Structure 1
Amino acid sequence: MDPFVVCLWIMLTSCATAWILSLLTGEYSWVDRSWSLVPPVYAWVFAAGAGFDDARLVTIAVLVTLWGARLTFNFARKGGYAPGGEDYRWAVLRGRMSPAGFGLFNLFFITIYQNAILLLIVLPAATAALHAANPFGPADLGLTFAFLLLLVGEGVADQQQWDFHRARGPRGADTAGSPAEGGAARPDVLRTGLFRYSRHPNYFCELGQWWVVFLFGAVAAGSLLQWSGLGALLLTGLFIGSTVFTERISVSRHPGYPAYQRVTSPIVPWFPRAVPRPESVPVRRAL
């Protein structure tokens, strides 16, 4: 059977499973729970379709598997697979929408649209399979290195975020006691490490990895004009929308977040902006 058809059946099964489980459990993070699991399966389906003889397809599959393993670990340690481990943003949305409206949102956006993106981001492997005559070369080695660099970067960002939230304690308190009690003020926003240069460095690295996957297909085809870039493009749009929504919540919960926004790049890492000093008002001396 054609690898794309196999992947399409897997996607439809994933959609049906996530939607049914959301109705049965009242939790809506089932696509989140499969987010790191399904793309490696798609990648290996394409590698298997070439008999595991195509070095480029096997490389893509191995890299996507490493991506999935790291993301699964990070999601699991945050309790994402535990009962009640629903993404807090879905609860916020439920509170703003009617039950019928959220039901449609769950079916078409959370379930179908996100699962479609998970398939689309791997379809550069289909492009690579169509152009298997173009052998694995130096450009592919460069892309492999770039992917691994971004993978490490995302791991570092997630670890810094994990350490920050653990240090704040289970209640997420902003202080560790008053100075009189010997406590030290705890920052309510992570501003150090990679988060000094980007408010979402993990998003940057995540998106970068999937644009690298697209480039594997483009290198095989010998052109950047490939329809299989649609997945990375839609994923980028999804992350931008998610960033806007998440930061609205962060502003309402963390008093220091607006100041952080003013000086730090949203996603693409860049040097912090200087905070303008208030103009001093000259004091007139009495004559």
Structure 2
Amino acid sequence: MDPLLVCLVLCGTITAATWLLSVITREYSWVDRIWSIAPIAYVWIFAAAAAFAPRLVLMAVLVTLWGIRLTYNFWRKGGYRPGGEDYRWKILQGRMPGWAYQTFNLLFISIYQNALILAFCLPAATAAVSDTPIGGWDVLLAAVFLAFLVGETIADQQQWNFHRWKAAERAAGRTPEPGFLQTGLFRYSRHPNFFFEQAQWWVFYGFAVAATGVWLHWTIAGALLLTLLFIGSTVFTESISRSRHPGYDDYRRRTSMLVPWFPARERAAAESAV
């Protein structure tokens, strides 16, 4: 069968299942729970259709490593436990009428996000029909993908350590200060894990470019739409942080939102010293 058709059928099945489970359980993180798993299946389907051509195997292995790491991080935060719903869904649900949120759940959470997951995997479809042999660009792309994977791992570990410290402070009857992470990689970006996550999928699109020699084609849509999703998610997340932490606005003023960069105060000091 056409691998794209197989992936579309699988995507449709997952979409129906995640929506149905959300209706039954009244938890809306079912797409979050398959976010790191479905791409592994999609990319390996394209690899199998290409008779496990070296480029496709490399792409599938990279996505598998990405998926294992992200699944582990989601698991240790309790995402797969009953009640392990992303806290932002409850907040959003409280801001919308019931019928509007259920429409949002069907159209955006279930249908759009599942379609997006398949979309950012589709550079594998382009690579699968290419007869260009694997080469130096593929090796470079793999190295950059792994570097971004390491960056995201470090950022998630720093966040994990911080939240465990906060929990320990509260358990001891103390109020944790500061209330949000602003050291390590978070000193240079307010959301370094978001940045590295998006960057990996832009690199993944690069494999389609290496396979075809064409810089711009339709499979760029997945990476582009993922970036737009993260921007919207970041704005919403920060609106919550600003309401909870009085010092967050100062952190926003001095720290890059996504792309890691030197804090504003350090830039100003360096410029004045020149």
- Name the CA distance, whole Å, in 1 between partners of 2:168 and 2:93: 24
Equivalent residue for 1:152? Answer: 150
Is residue 40 of structure 1 aligned with residue 40 of structure 2? yes
Q: CA deviation at 1:169?
A: 1.4
Letter in 2 for 1:198: S
Is residue 2 of structure 1 aligned with residue 25 of structure 2? no
Equivalent residue for 1:212? Answer: 203
The partner residue of 2:188 within 164, 186, 197 is 197
- Name the CA distance, whole Å, in 1 between partners of 2:77 and 2:181: 17
Is residue 266 of structure 1 aligned with residue 257 of structure 2? yes
Q: How does 1:13-92 map to 2 (within 5 A)?
A: 13-52=13-52, 54-92=53-91
> Do 1:198 and 1:265's aligned partners in 2 also have CA atoms closer than 8 Å?
yes
Q: How does 1:176-195 map to 2 (within 5 A)?
A: 176=174, 186-195=177-186
Q: CA deviation at 1:215?
A: 0.4
Q: CA deviation at 1:85?
A: 0.5
Q: CA deviation at 1:274?
A: 1.3
Q: CA deviation at 1:129?
A: 1.2
Q: How does 1:204-243 map to 2 (within 5 A)?
A: 204-243=195-234
Letter in 2 for 1:82: R
User: Which 5+ residue runs of structure 1 have no aligned equivalent?
Assistant: 178-184, 278-287
- Name the CA distance, whole Å, in 1 between partners of 2:138 and 2:22: 40
Alignment root-mean-square deviation, CA: 1.8
Q: Could you give the per-residue CA deviations for residues 229-280 of structure 1, whole angstroms, max 9, x where no partner exists? A: 1000000000000000000000011122111101000000100001889xxx
> Do 1:175 and 1:187's aligned partners in 2 also have CA atoms closer than 8 Å?
no
Letter in 2 for 1:224: W
The partner residue of 1:247 within 229, 235, 238 is 238
User: Which 5+ residue runs of structure 2 have no aligned equivalent?
Assistant: 270-274
Q: CA deviation at 1:50?
A: 1.1
Letter in 2 for 1:24: I
Helix, strand or coil at the partner of 1:155: helix
> Do 2:50 and 2:129's aligned partners in 1 also have CA atoms closer than 8 Å?
no
- Name the CA distance, whole Å, in 2 between partners of 1:188 and 1:90: 21
Q: CA deviation at 1:186?
A: 2.4
Structure whose alpha-carbon radius of gyration is higher? 1
Helix, strand or coil at the partner of 2:261: coil
Output the TM-score relative to the length of structure 1. 0.90
Helix, strand or coil at the partner of 1:270: coil
In structure 2, relative to structure 1, the CA distance for the partners of 1:172 and 1:233 (3 Å cut) is farther
- Name the CA distance, whole Å, in 1 between partners of 2:169 and 2:21: 29
Q: CA deviation at 1:226?
A: 1.2
Helix, strand or coil at the partner of 1:227: coil
Runs of 4+ in 1 over 6 A off after TM superposition: none
Query: Which is helix-richer, 1 or 2?
Result: 2
Output the TM-score relative to the length of structure 2. 0.94
Q: Could you give the per-residue CA deviations for residues 41-89 of structure 1, whole angstroms, max 9, x where no partner exists? A: 000000010121x111101100000000000000000000000000111
The partner residue of 1:163 within 158, 161, 164 is 161
> Do 1:188 and 1:255's aligned partners in 2 also have CA atoms closer than 8 Å?
no
- Name the CA distance, whole Å, in 2 between partners of 1:65 and 1:125: 13
The partner residue of 1:136 within 134, 137, 154 is 134
Letter in 2 for 1:80: G
Helix, strand or coil at the partner of 1:169: helix
What count of residue pairs does the alignment treat as equivalent? 268
Equivalent residue for 2:116? Answer: 117
- Name the CA distance, whole Å, in 1 between partners of 2:21 and 2:231: 27
Q: Could you give the per-residue CA deviations for residues 118-174 of structure 1, whole angstroms, max 9, x where no partner exists? A: 00000000111121x111000000000000000000000000000011111168699
- Name the CA distance, whole Å, in 1 between partners of 2:184 and 2:73: 18
Q: CA deviation at 1:193?
A: 0.7
